[in-house]
Amino acid sequence: MAKKFHLEIIASDHPFYKGDCESLIFPGMDGLHGILANHQEMVTCVKGGELKYKADGEWHYAVVSDGFVEVMPDNQVILLADTIENPEEIDIKRADEVKQRAEEKLRQKLSNQEYYLTRAELNRAINRIKAAKRHR
């Protein structure tokens, strides 16, 4: 039997998952990070993308926006992000429309702030499309 830790995945507007977990893999600023039971304490950033966690012997997937993860000494892990979605619930057509609008907007002359906000919007749309297509 695999060792487990308590995992809470929380979006800004709702709890996404709360329970025992065997493994958590999430995108970080410098690549993928993996968490197992009894992991060393840490706080790190989550980069928007796809995460996966293994609970009850089965892998589960989600699309997350930027956020952070805290690994605590009592075998507890909390992942907080602005948005978290199941890939099956993503409307690919709508995400593709957002992607196209963002690409068109990037072709225009933008202020620095508008540019970075539009790049973030484009990245979110691309991540949502990839994950939705991969898990259907």
Q: What is the mean pLDDT of residues 92-120?
A: 91
Asked whether residue 59 falls in the same domain as residue 93, the answer is no
Give the dihedral sign, CA 96/98/100/103: negative
Asked whether residue 34 falls in the same domain as residue 81, the answer is yes
Q: What is the mean pLDDT of residues 85-107?
A: 91
pLDDT of residue 26: 97
pLDDT of residue 2: 60
Range of the domain at 28: 5-85
Output the average pLDDT for the chain: 92
How many structural domains comprise the chain? 2
- The DSSP result for 51-95, as a single string, is EEEEETTEEEEEEE-SEEEEEETTTEEEEEES-EE-GGG--HHHH
Identify the CATH number of the domain in which residue 48 sits.
Answer: 2.60.15.10
Higher pLDDT, 8 or 128: 8
Give the dihedral sign, CA 92/33/47/5: positive
pLDDT of residue 109: 85
Asked whether residue 69 falls in the same domain as residue 95, the answer is no
pLDDT per residue as tens digits for the range 8-67: 999 999 999 999 999 999 999 999 999 999 999 999 999 999 999 999 999 999 999 999
pLDDT of residue 1: 47
Asked whether residue 95 falls in the same domain as residue 79, the answer is no
Helix 112-134, helix 92-106: angle, nearest 10: 150
